[in-house]
Amino acid sequence: QVPLVESGGGSVQAGGSLRLSCAAEGFIDSRYCMGWFRQGSGKEREGVVVIDRSSYTTYADSAKGRFTISRDNAQNKLYLQMDDLKPEDTDMYYCAAAWMCRSSGVVLSGRAQISYWGRGTQVTVSS
């Protein structure tokens, strides 16, 4: 049983939009920081955006102004609205949960322990 399940990936043209969703098991509640990471073939996984337990968000520079994270604790869901997509956004996108993280910035930087990962959803942006 996978505690995080992503959906919403797909293929779009540059300038288009996608909305990713992550459905979390019920035990992954507001005590977890949650976020989105991405990884392409041959590349290291990198943080896109993280939302902490106080709903404070930290975005990677590449995501600022174009991506928006949101969280519905009642539904145990995490979302990523991606607008003005670029070919360089093409990657596998992963949902992540970190138990009682200190801050969203620490999680985004990769310096925090990730408790759970989803299996990913592919985003492909064509020029």
CA 21 centroid distance within chain: 9
Hey, what amino acid is at 118? G
> What is the pLDDT averaged over residues 50-74?
95
Spell out the alpha helix ranges (H) of 76-124: 104-108
pLDDT beyond 90 at 84: yes
Q: Over the chain, what is the mean pLDDT? A: 95
Q: Supply the pLDDT for residue 75.
A: 92
Q: Write down how long the chain is.
A: 127
pLDDT above 90: percentage of residues in the chain: 85
Read off the pLDDT of residues 70-83 as tens digits, 9 standing for 90 and up. Answer: 999 999 999 999 99
Is the CB of residue 120 less than 8 Å from the CB of residue 6? yes
Instruction: From 85, 91, 50, 92, select the one nearest 71 (Cα to Cα).
Output: 50
Read off the pLDDT of residues 9-30 as tens digits, 9 standing for 90 and up. Answer: 999 999 999 999 999 998 888 8
Q: Supply the pLDDT for residue 115.
A: 96
CA 18 centroid distance within chain: 13
* Strands 10-13, 121-126: pairing kind: parallel
Distance between CA atoms of 65 and 33, rounded to whole angstroms? 21
Q: What are the helix and strand counts (H, E) for the chain?
A: 1, 11
**pLDDT range class, residue 2, cuts 50, 70, 90:** confident
Is the CB of residue 25 less than 8 Å from the CB of residue 85? no
Q: In the structure encoding, which two tokens stand for residue 29, read together? A: 């509640």
